[in-house]
Structure 1
Amino acid sequence: MQFISTRGGSLGTYTDVLIEGLAPNGGLAVPAELPRIDAAELDRWRELDYIGLASEVIGLFATDIPRADLARLCESAYGAGRFASPEVVPLSDIGEGLTLVGLSEGPTLAFKDLAMQFLGEGLEYALTKADRVLNVLGATSGDTGSAAEHAVRGRERIAIFMLSPEGRMSPYQRAQMYSLHDENVHNIVVDGVFDECQDLVKRLSEDLDFKRAHHLGAMNSINFGRISAQITYYVWAWLRATDALPEGERAGFEVSFAVPSGNFGNILSGQYARLMGVPIRRLVLAVNENNVLDDFFRTGVYRPRSAEQTLATSSPSMDVSRASNLERFVFELLGRDPERTAAAWQELSATGQIDLSAERHRFESEFGIVSGTSTHADRLATIRSFAETASVVLDPHTADGVKVAREYTESGVPMLVLETAKSPKFADTITEALGEAVPVDPATRALLEAQQRTADMPNDENPLRAYIGEHALR
């Protein structure tokens, strides 16, 4: 399979885009043609475990990796106790017609482990084959950083430079990242918000001379390797949600997914699964008070907010006002036309917005996307409600997803809510919701008390360039 940029031009094969990350012209890598999954293939996959399914789904894109090698990569990523649940992704009924898709069983207790654990293996494989090194440059609003760092820590061919916004993550999230002292892990705390961290990453990645001189790549959701791995759990969840149906009723049986959304990569993976043929009725996008994406899907006008207008909320991983992966959705919306897509981002640069209101009627009818907003009061009430009725403690982001999912449940259509993280990562909010302090286990206490190491910087690309120049692998 060949990959292209959303703004035009060929990018090569799967392993090429794993290493490259952002396209040289600023666009994002997408398959030249999306593969299709038919009902017969889904039925054949039903008996596979998660490792086997990941090999099949990712294999639709990673056609340049021999299947035996890909199977070993998936075994390394998802086997041998890497995830707490033997199923890797368990599903559980939480009442009100909602099913929780347990995506947070990995080493950092967040959904991003499912993609990052594979991406760490895949990058090492591709770099070894090419006899190259990679300096990963990324930005995190909470969980991406720790998941990426735990996936590559100690690897000889990869160093990681992760930018995070000062004071915008939970103490647990900070501790998971900043307590890592591996020589190849560099935590850079920026005096700004996530969008400003992301802008710094883009500016350096779009400087092709700097990028090539310092072997820069990406592990956040601009890297298509992340997207391909995330498609797997949509397929898995559909298979598990339909297992109990009579055999003759499974084919074409639709489910809906509710997805807490920040940078749009998670729900985009569901969009690809839907376009590829997985029977998904609706994709319910849930955002917090930084509701730029909800505004877009309700009006068709994408109007990102400034750093000053981006709120610090109790679901911090979703404190995003400029969602990088929206470009991949717009590319599909505009008929996979790179010229129109590039023009849309030129419009954004010139005017501060993209007006796609003429296409608004297609968002749900053609792509199945609906949206909603959750507030601090909403997530507290949702956490409290499900603790009482289902004896499950939702993390704040998942609570946002559940709150919006309740607005779109339909009789006869299972609503699957994608879990974002485990609740202990956000103890202050859980305590506020439940009215009692969350017990701190010894492992968590040790993590929170561990020595932390960071490099603090202003929102300025020049000191960042100097730091990378000094510490990058050669």
Structure 2
Amino acid sequence: MKYVSTRGRRDLGGFSEVLLMGLAPDGGLAMPERIPTFSADELEGLRGLDYADLAYAVMRPYIDDIPESDLRALLRATYHPDVFHSADITPLTPLGDSGLFLLELSNGPSLAFKDIAMQFLGHVFEYVLERRGERLNILGATSGDTGSAAEYAMRGKARVNVFMLSPHGRMSAFQQAQMFSLDEPNVFNIAVRGVFDDCQDLVKEVNADAEFKARYTIGAVNSINWARVLAQAVYYFKAYLALNLPAGQPMDFSVPSGNFGNVFAGYLAKQMGLPIGQLAVASNENDVLHEFFSTGVYRVRRSAQVAQTSSPSMDIGKASNFERYLYLIAGADGVQTRAWWAEVGGSRPVDLRGTAHWEAVRASGLVGGRSSHAERLETIRRADERFGRLIDPHTADGLRVGEQYARAGVPMVCLETALPAKFEATVQEAVGRTPPRPQRFKGIEALPRHFTLLDNDAAALKAFVAGKLGQTLQATP
């Protein structure tokens, strides 16, 4: 399998190359040159596989440059019950007799769905770098959960350093403590004076400096990394198989979404032949995606327009993975995608109204919804009272939108994004009690914190990275 850029470049190489690449040289995102599909009979043949074997079946067509035995070993090390505290890895739980289901994705080391893909990245990075005799310096941005998932997956990896940017003062107290309490020689936390989109733009600006990127071997673990999207597609297959539906019967999903990576993984699964009807994209008050799927206009928000909400991991005004979706909507036309993104870069909206592309969007099965703070609290409270299930605020956004789009006779699977312990204040406000947390995280807020505060300035970030690598690379094997 060869990979191409969403903006037209066609020589990105195989899986291992795009794994380490981050952004493509033309600024686009890596995509496979074709999307393999499963027939109905082949989907039925996946029944009975454990999670690691299912992951192999789904991911193997895209990863043909790693020997079969090695890839299977990497996936078995990743999707182990001791890591995810469940033999099912991603259990599917019915919410009473409502026709709604909760896909549990938050049983991993950092208590967020990002662990599902990030744990795989940790293992496959180590494997590929060891084979090549290379090192990688990961530069990433987080609105809350990506950072801790990446750092927990990469800590102790001899050939990887992690530089993680986060918006100063905009994560929950638990999220901040989870990241900043880590004291690892290969992990550097950077709090940026700004919002998540500022952090994301800094990462892109550094990646756009080809000389700096090459000199310091800069890579990515954000959802722009193709391996993350691919790994996330697996749990859509897992949910379908767990429902044990008759062959061909559709199911729907509701997905809390900020950067569009999680829901794009579902769209990828649908393109691969999974019988998904609707993919409901759940937004908070920062409703860029809701606006698009409601009107056909994609209008990014500037940093000052991004609201600080009680579902902070979705406080995003520009969804990076949306480019991958538009690329497929355009029929894998890199020239068209590049033109659209030039409009976004020029602060102009992408307006598909009245076009064949808008008809393609409407036919794709993606729909949008949004939730406010008051609605979020009401949904948390109602889920607790009706189903005996405590959920975090992002999952509440997804559940609320899932309820809006639920269809009679069609299962609606709502994706859990984090355990409620990560957002204690909001859950406390909703139900009047503090959510439980795993023993290993008790008292985490009182631990010493390790981070550097930087201005929203690419030159300052580059100087910080260069300085730290000058201090640490000599000690790295």
1:442 Cα deviation from its structure 2 partner: 5.3
Number of the residue aligned with 2:111:
109
Query: Is this contact kept in 2: 1:299–1:360, CA < 8 A?
Result: no
Letter in 1 for 2:278: R
Distance 1:24 1:361 in 2: 31
Moved more, 310-319 or 38-47: 38-47
Separation in 2 of the partners of 1:205 and 1:59?
A: 28
The answer on whether the counterparts of 1:163 and 1:188 sit within 8 Å (CA) in structure 2 is yes
Amino acid at match of 2:362: E
Q: Which residue identity is paired with 1:231? A: A
Please, what is the CA RMSD of the aligned residues?
1.2
Distance 2:256 2:113 in 1: 11
2:443 counterpart residue number: 446
d(CA) in 2 for partners of 1:407, 1:417: 12
Partners of 1:350 and 1:220 lie apart in 2 by 23
Deviation at 1:445, TM superposition (A): 3.1
How far off is 1:362 after superposition? 2.6
> Tell me, which stretches of 5 or more residues in structure 2 are unaligned?
none
Deviation at 1:438, TM superposition (A): 4.0
Match of 1:272 in 2: 268
SS in 1 for 2:418: coil
Given that 1:298 and 1:360 are in contact with CA atoms closer than 8 Å, whether structure 2 keeps it comes out as no
What SS does structure 1 have at the residue aligned with 2:255?
strand
Residue 336 of structure 1 is matched in structure 2 by 332
Residue in structure 2 matching 1:187, options 168, 178, 189: 189
| TM-score relative to the length of structure 1 | 0.97
- Which of 315, 334, 341 pairs up with 2:311? 315
Q: For 1:178 and 1:27, how far apart are their aligned partners in 2?
A: 31
Corresponding residue number in structure 1 for 2:177:
175
Q: Map 1:64-463 onto structure 2 (within 5 A).
A: 64-79=65-80, 81-95=82-96, 96-242=98-244, 245=245, 250-357=246-353, 358=355, 359-365=357-363, 367-438=364-435, 443-463=440-460
CA pair 112-439 structure 1, distance change in 2 beyond 3 A: closer
Asked if the contact 1:288–1:318 (Cα under 8 Å) also holds between the matched residues in 2, the reply is yes
Amino acid at match of 2:60: G
Q: Deviations over 1:10-46 (max 9, x none)?
A: 2000011001111011000000001111112211111
User: How many Å separate the matches in 2 of 1:150 and 1:419?
Assistant: 20
Equivalent AA in structure 2 for residue 251 of structure 1:
A
Cα distance in 2 between the residues matched to 1:216 and 1:224 = 15
Distance 1:64 1:436 in 2: 50
User: In the TM superposition, what is the alpha-carbon distance from 1:55 to its structure 2 partner?
Assistant: 1.4
Per-residue Cα deviation, 1:249-291 (whole angstroms, up to 9, x for no partner):
x221110000000100000000010011000001000000000
The SS at the match of 1:410 is coil
How far apart are 1:57 and its partner, in Å? 1.1
Consecutive unaligned residues in structure 1, runs of 5 or more: none
Q: Secondary structure at the match of 1:60?
A: helix
Q: CA deviation at 1:168?
A: 0.7
Tell me how far apart the structure 1 counterparts of residues 21 and 435 of structure 2 sit (CA, whole Å).
Answer: 42
Q: What per-residue deviation string (whole Å, max 9, x for no partner) do you get for residues 231-251 of structure 1? A: 100111111112xx4xxxx22
In the alignment, the residues of structure 2 paired with residue 371 and residue 348 of structure 1 have an alpha-carbon distance, to the nearest angstrom, of 20
CA distance in 1, matches of 2:434, 2:147: 27
2:7 maps to: 7
Identity, in percent, stands at 47
Instruction: Check the 8 A contact 2:139/2:219 in 1, yes or no.
Output: yes
**Amino acid in the other structure paired with 2:194:** G
- Conserved 8 A contact 1:297-1:360: no
- Deviation, 1:443, is 3.7
Deviation at 1:113, TM superposition (A): 0.2
For residues 437 and 156 of structure 1, the distance between their equivalents in structure 2, rounded to whole angstroms, comes to: 38
Amino acid at match of 1:92: T
- Cα distance in 2 for partners of 1:69, 1:439 equals 38
Shift of 1:361: 2.9
Read off the aligned partner of 1:330 and give its amino acid letter: L
Determine the C-alpha separation between the residues in 1 that align with 2:42 and 2:180. Answer: 43
- Quick one: which amino acid aligns to residue 199 of structure 2? C
SS at match of 2:31: strand
Distance 2:455 2:342 in 1: 27
**What is the distance in 2 between the residues matched to 1:11 and 1:301?**
31
1:446 Cα offset (Å): 2.5
CA distance in 2 between partners of 1:260 and 1:281 (Å): 17
Render the CA deviation track for 1:329-361: whole Å, top value 9, x for unaligned.
010111111111111111222343211222323
CA contact (8 A) 2:420 2:435 kept: no
1:5 deviates by 0.3
Q: CA 1:173 to 1:407, structure 2 compared with 1: closer, same or farther past 3 Å? A: same
Give distance in 1, aligned partners of 2:231 and 2:288: 26
Q: SS at 1:259's partner residue?
A: strand
Deviation of 1:364 after TM superposition, in Å, equals 2.9
C-alpha contact (below 8 Å) 2:300/2:347 kept by paired residues: no
SS at match of 2:165: strand
1:325 & 1:148 partners in 2: Cα distance? 18
Asked if 2 retains the 8 angstrom alpha-carbon contact of 1:383 and 1:433, the reply is: yes
Separation in 1, partners of 2:104, 2:433: 25
